[in-house]
Amino acid sequence: MTKLSIIYYSSYGTAHAMASRMAATAEAKGAEVRLRRVRETAPDEVVQSVEGWAAHAASVGGQPVAEPEDIDWADAVIMGSGTRYGHVTSQLQSFIDTLGPLWQEGRLADKVYAAFTSSQTRHGGQETTLLAMLTTFCHFGGIIVPPGYTDQIKFADGNPYGVGVVTGGDGVDETANAALDHLVTRVVDVAQRLED
């Protein structure tokens, strides 16, 4: 059974919805899944000053928080983050920065990695955010499994580096869900092949 960790940061809930969709799809494919949110590092008064942010933080408050051990445990890891100025959120970067001891021991290497993101506009930094995560996976010695154009859905969502959605409006719509299903299925399939 492939062990998959889905580790994400979500301010308003889009990345949470994306991660939850992939977790359900992976479990249906027979994977053992750890769905883990990244710890909030913004000051509470800042979070509470934005209604949507505060509501989402409250809704996931009881859910498990990502720890380095969740990556050590996994055969495959999918990371997700909203885009901040074309890069990952500071919250996800703070988590990544805790992985140094595992990296030094080579325990982040030889795992399958993929990424997802969201932004407020179509050209709001999705591709650069995904590429930033892929660059990190290169430093880990990871096996990057992008979706490429390996399924017709990728011609609809148009992102060969991972999955990206525009927040608000339709948000995680039918096309995005199909792209997420394809990404996580591809990650689990490749991880299973590597195990054999």
pLDDT digits (tens, 9 = 90+) for 150-196: 999 999 998 999 999 998 766 689 999 999 999 999 999 999 999 87
Segments of the chain with pLDDT less than 50 = none
> 53: closest CA among 11, 10, 16, 14?
11
Sign of torsion over alpha carbons 29, 191, 176, 58: positive
Directed axis angle between helix 14-28 and helix 174-195, to 10°?
Answer: 50
Instruction: Report the amino acid identity of residue 56.
Output: H
Q: What pLDDT score does 38 carry?
A: 98
Structure tokens at 15: 């990345």
CA angle in degrees (0–180, nearest 5) for 118-109-65: 50
Domains of the chain: 10-180 (3.40.50.360)
Q: What pLDDT score does 118 carry?
A: 95
